[in-house]
Chain A
Amino acid sequence: MLERFFVNTDPIIWLTIFVLAVFVGIEVISKVSSTLHTPLMSGANAIHGVILVGAILVAGSAQSTPILVLGLVAVVLASINMVGGFVVTDRMLVMFSRPKRALDKSAHRELEQ
């Protein structure tokens, strides 16, 4: 308990990390083409599924049954968000790469002829 008080009496460090992460977030997607808006939204969506870590933490330290049940609900919801998000994004992106391979093949055929 004392430790948590200690860490959080220094919110400036957390604020620093927060502000830097804001700029990184803006910077990394600043040049995205509209073609990729849908997968990008879905991929970012999957990343915040990492709240699963938080859900595991609170469920893992639950002291009473109602809290445990609530925590487990959070774990289920967070895993749907995280796993489902990454899988569905991958499904979309596979389609993006497939026509390219088909094209490569036809290019080869032309070369052979």
Chain B
Amino acid sequence: MTPAWAQLGYLIAAVCFIVALKGLSSPKHARRGNLIGAAGALLACVVVFLVSDIQHLLPILAAIAAGTAIGVVGAYRVQMTQMPQLVALFNGVGGGAAAIVAIIELTEMQRGTAPLFDLIATAFTILVGSVSFAGSIVTFLKLQELMTTRPVVFAGYPILYGLGLLAALGFSIGLVLMPSLLFAVLLAVVGAGLGVLLVLPVGGADVPIVISLLNAFTGLTVAASGYLLENILLLVAGTLVGSAGTLLTRLMANAMGRSVINILFGALKGGSSLGATTVSDRPVKSAGPADVAILLAYAQRVIIVPGYGLAVAQAQHALRQLVDLLEERGVQVDYAIHPVAGRMPGHMNVLLAEAQVPYEQLREMDEIDPEFKQADVALVVGANDVVNPAAETTPGAPIYGMPILHANQARQVVFMKRSMRPGFAGIENELLYQPATTLLFGDAKDTMSKLLAELKALTV
């Protein structure tokens, strides 16, 4: 049995994790919460070395050092724009680790007659861990744009998926009845296949929701392996992440006005074939930086709608200077933050915080949306889908039903765009062709500096 002091150590670690999650849900205590969580994790690792008879000490410590080095380098190298991919990768390796742990446990079980619940937990961990691992890899490939970001659907998809589920069920039963490495490997392979199939039909803009779902999956596998290893901490920590992750997935889906099922399998209904793949050649009104500078300088009320393109071009800092200058002229400026601006919910807040934009200027959608009616100019920088009226007018569009920012209600709309290429969701935006809309083409950072220079010239 695990001695009482070690159990107490695990209990403290579990409490740390609860405090961490609690802290992470309020802006004030978020950082402290995360550090408390890290302290809990460290405590758990120290306890396991002290209490268990750990052999192969040196190789294990070396492996921890290697993993730590990779994790830290990854965490510091990543650009804030690539955050969703990194979270997906970290989640995937966690799921993979859980699956491996279960497979190893199985090889030790074979010798004795293992309890039924242990075998069920093993099958669950191997299957879901592999789903999480493979699914996360595909989300990474999609977000990094190493493969198409559009939904991938093929004719036999539902049949293949059904067969995969049946095979998973069959191999799970096989593993419980006749525990063997063969069934474990088959189950892992089928799980990986199901993971790939799960993510393929999801469009690029919805992928972050899937990361959150897979995150919850990994949590549950960790909980199941806690049962297997008779480790209460793993059970509690895994379950916490599993349930919190499931709720978070639903919250994110709600922010997009969609159900989780619709996000996962919506493409199968064939709805999203509407997405434009080619550059449109319909006429648009475009202007130079000088015209736009005048428009902004003599406005009373400007609302900025920032999007992922802004961050990719690293134009946040120039944008902040622009806003400062406008405010000096007495223009009232706010940022309208759509809940899913950027590439995952809350991503834009991180990106603008990086540019030291004051927290108070960031207004959430529900609060700012009614104010577009009074705005003289809506300046849309590197965003597209979050202002696309198709979400309300075109029932077949992939983003249909997502709440949007009504930038079209402002007197003038200025789009800063690289090209006429459609947004991440791949849908044509009608707003671009409306008479009140002006387009300012070019790289966001470059154009922003030109705009800034023009505005300075006006101010002097």
Contact = CB atoms under 8 A, between A and B. Distances in A.
Interface of A: 1, 3-5, 7-9, 11, 14, 17-18, 21-26, 28-62, 67-68, 70-100, 102-103
Nearest to A78: B97
Interface string B72-106: 10111010100110110011011011101101110
A87 B75 CA distance: 6
Given A44-B215, A48-B222, A36 B30 contact: yes
A87 B76 contact: yes
Interface stretch (B62-70, B273-281, B307-315, B444-452): B62-70
A18 B14 CA distance: 13
A26 B22 CA distance: 10
A99 B49 contact: no
A26 B117 CA distance: 25
B354 A95 contact: yes
Contacts of A75: 60, 63-64, 67, 97
Given A34-B364, A99-B358, A43 B115 contact: no
Majority secondary structure of chain A interface residues (helix, strand, loop or mixed): helix
B168 interface: no
B215 A45 contact: yes
B101 A74 contact: yes
A82 B70 CA distance: 11
B230 interface: yes
Contacts of A30: 247
Contacts of B238: 48, 50-51
Q: Which of B26, B104, B247, B362 has the most CB of A within 10 A?
A: B104
A11 B121 CA distance: 12
Contacts of A1: 112
Interface in B236-274: 236-245, 247-248, 251-252, 255
B219 interface: yes
Contacts of B31: 90, 93-94, 96-97
A44 B59 contact: no
9 contacts: A17-B235, A24-B240, A25-B21, A25-B247, A28-B22, A32-B251, A38-B350, A54-B226, A81-B93
A78 B364 CA distance: 36
A100 to B, nearest CB: 6
Contacts of A55: 97, 100-101
Given A67-B104, A71-B104, A81-B93, A50 B255 contact: no
A35 B27 contact: yes
B60 A44 contact: no
A21 B223 CA distance: 10
A22 B20 contact: no
B60 A72 contact: yes
Interface of B: 1, 13, 17-18, 20-22, 24-27, 30-31, 33-35, 37-38, 41, 44-45, 48-49, 52-57, 59-60, 63-64, 66-68, 70-72, 74-76, 78, 80, 83-84, 86-87, 90-91, 93-94, 96-98, 100-101, 103-105, 107-108, 112, 115, 117-118, 211-212, 215, 218-219, 221-223, 225-227, 229-245, 247-248, 251-252, 255, 337, 339, 344-347, 349-350, 353-354, 356-360, 362, 364
Q: Which of B22, B90, B349, B360 has the most CB of A within 10 A?
A: B90
B20 A34 contact: no
A40 B362 CA distance: 19
Contact of B356 (A5, A25, A102): A102
B155 to A, nearest CB: 34
A48 B344 CA distance: 20
A44 B67 contact: no
Contacts of A17: 232, 235-236, 239
Contacts of A34: 251, 255, 339, 345-346, 364
B220 to A, nearest CB: 9
A1 to B, nearest CB: 6
A55 B370 CA distance: 52
Contacts of A45: 87, 90-91, 94, 215, 218, 241
A93 B100 contact: no
Given A1-B112, A49-B41, A51-B234, A35 B97 contact: no
Q: Which of B57, B63, B223, B347 has the most CB of A within 10 A?
A: B63
A55 B45 CA distance: 10
A4 B241 CA distance: 26
A22 B239 contact: yes
A10 to B, nearest CB: 10
Contacts of B115: 5, 8-9
A4 B211 contact: no
Contact of A40 (B52, B76, B248, B337): B248
Contacts of A33: 25, 27, 364
8 nearest CB pairs, A to B:
A79-B67, A84-B71, A25-B243, A60-B54, A37-B346, A32-B25, A81-B94, A21-B239
Nearest to B249: A41
Given A8-B227, A55-B97, A99-B353, 10 more contacts: A26-B243, A29-B247, A37-B255, A53-B234, A62-B104, A71-B101, A86-B41, A88-B83, A90-B38, A92-B350
